[in-house]
Amino acid sequence: MKIVADANIPFVKEAFLSIGQVETCEGRVLSPEQITDADILLVRSVTKVNASLLAQSRVKFVGSATIGVDHVDRDYLNKHSIGFANAPGSNATSAAEYVITALMLTAQRQGFSLQEKSVGIVGCGNVGSRVLKRLTDLGVRCKVNDPPRAAKYTDLDYVSLDEVIKADIVTVHTPLTKQGIYKTYHLFNKDAFSALMPNAIFINTSRGSVVDESALKSVIQKRQDITLILDVWETEPAIDIELLKNVSIATPHIAGYSIDGKVRGTEMISVAACKNFGYASHWHAENAELPVLTPINLTDQQIVLQNLSEEQLLYKTVLSAYDIVKDDVDLRKITKMPLADRAAHFDHLRKNYPIRREFASQRVKVTPEYKALSGKLTALGFNL
């Protein structure tokens, strides 16, 4: 079988070797002509999978190595008996670690302790639930808003959107839905942003269109006390430069871009494709050879002499494991580029994103007297 795959799916040739021959392509500009004779199409969120793309092809299975599905016309796939699988939860740990890192950097910059703040989590699925657990383990007070889950489960004390945005920090982890009673398109509009608490911190790592960016720009002209952390943008890849200038931490839709998460996504769609066509699945995430990281040494005499508090050491460890500042700096280079080059720069950063490992792949050496710190590092997933 012929397989056409986004070149940004790691180990895709190895994972699908037992099924057929893989031909890689640029996902953002994938054309119908490129998949005319393809049996399997493998994409990420930058490819719109719909009738316009598939009508003239013989594709019988589509795999999306992403957690979101708003880029896929599943009604069309069902109507034409085209199999489909995505990778829910594959990059959830990575996205949660992005939020934790961004918050610790912000706490360090603004001089507060996370334990002093309350956090409102909008959407408590794969990502939101991981953010909730990590923050709770760190002793942070959290409120959760998730109407679809609240209608089915009683596992948490769910609150309304009006209540959750009264928290000091609001972080968004919803899918993008444009219809129905749980519509999230422009969920955060002028009213929602205006209702944020004084000196609020707002984080969006879900989908850009969950935020009405025009409304956000209008509000922040009057509410410069709001700290914005945005990884997703409504008009990707041609993002709003004026909005970017008002964002504290800005990144190019890479919150879930750890290599660990990407590899899990590859495995999930590989297993699903094999099942769809009746093949045995031979490739798994543990088959991928990933780089081994140098341990973070908190027992180093140079660090001890700095007399850092346990909280400062915690922040130092997290920011050593993931350099979120570099991601921010790399995106801001877009502001000095000609208009015609900006979208390409955004996509270049995503396509050529450096290897980033999750906290679980990172060993930390810490002195025995820091028991509380050791517990927090373990809660965040680090190996001691």
Nearest in space to 161 (alpha carbons), one of 182, 144, 149, 176? 144
Say whether 284 is catalytic: no
Q: Does any domain span residue 312?
A: yes
How far is Cα of residue 183 from the mean position of the Cα atoms in its chain? 20
- Laid out side by side, the sheet with 118-122 consists of 141-145, 118-122, 169-172, 201-204, 227-230, 249-250
- Both 113 and 214 in one domain: the answer is yes
3-state secondary structure of 157: coil
Q: Does any domain span residue 255?
A: no
- Both 269 and 229 in one domain: the answer is no
- Both 159 and 275 in one domain: the answer is no
- Both 127 and 235 in one domain: the answer is yes
Q: Does any domain span residue 120?
A: yes
Say whether 236 is catalytic: yes
Say how far apart CA 258 and CA 91 lie, in whole Å: 7
- Both 270 and 366 in one domain: the answer is no
Catalytic residue among 253, 264, 342, 350: 253
3-state secondary structure of 107: helix
pLDDT of residue 369: 78
CATH classification of the domain holding 191: 3.40.50.720
Q: Does any domain span residue 384?
A: no
Say how far apart CA 244 and CA 148 lie, in whole Å: 31
* Amino acid symbol at 134: R
- Both 21 and 147 in one domain: the answer is no
From residue 292, alpha-carbon distances to 7, 287, 322, 380 in Å are 24, 14, 14, 19
- Both 80 and 147 in one domain: the answer is no
CATH classification of the domain holding 322: 3.30.1370.170
Domain around 68:
2-86+261-287
Cα dihedral across residues 34, 37, 43, 47: positive or negative: positive
- Both 46 and 155 in one domain: the answer is no
Say how far apart CA 244 and CA 230 lie, in whole Å: 9
- Both 30 and 117 in one domain: the answer is no
Catalytic residue among 134, 149, 207, 264: 207
Helices (H), 63-152: 74-79, 92-110, 126-137, 147-150
From first to last of the 384 residues of the chain, give the pLDDT tens digit. 999 999 999 999 999 999 999 999 999 999 999 999 999 999 999 999 999 999 999 999 999 999 889 999 999 999 999 999 999 999 999 999 999 999 999 999 999 999 999 999 999 999 999 999 999 999 999 999 999 999 999 999 999 999 999 999 999 999 999 999 999 999 999 999 999 999 999 999 999 999 999 999 999 999 999 999 999 999 999 999 999 999 999 999 999 999 999 999 999 999 999 999 999 988 999 989 999 999 998 876 555 546 778 898 999 999 999 999 999 999 999 999 999 999 999 999 999 999 999 999 999 998 887 888 999 999 999 999
- Both 25 and 96 in one domain: the answer is no
Q: Does any domain span residue 256?
A: no
Say whether 207 is catalytic: yes
* Amino acid symbol at 372: A
Say how far apart CA 384 and CA 365 lie, in whole Å: 6
What are the structure tokens assigned to 199, written together? Answer: 């000196």
Domain count, the chain: 3
Catalytic residue among 97, 236, 267, 358: 236
348 burial type by CB count under 10 A (0-12 exposed, 13-18 middle, 19+ buried): middle
How far is Cα of residue 286 from the mean position of the Cα atoms in its chain? 22
CB 317 within 8 A of CB 300: no
- Both 53 and 144 in one domain: the answer is no
Nearest in space to 176 (alpha carbons), one of 207, 146, 147, 151? 207
- Both 103 and 241 in one domain: the answer is yes
Q: Does any domain span residue 58?
A: yes
Q: Does any domain span residue 67?
A: yes
pTM: 0.93
Pairing state between β 21-25 and 2-6:
parallel
pLDDT of residue 371: 86
CB 104 within 8 A of CB 114: yes
pLDDT of residue 48: 97
pLDDT of residue 367: 80
Q: Which residues of 76-115 are buried (b: 16+ CB within 10 A; e: fewer)?
A: bbeeeebbbbbbbbbbbbbbbbbbbbbbbbbbeeeeeebe
Q: Does any domain span residue 29?
A: yes
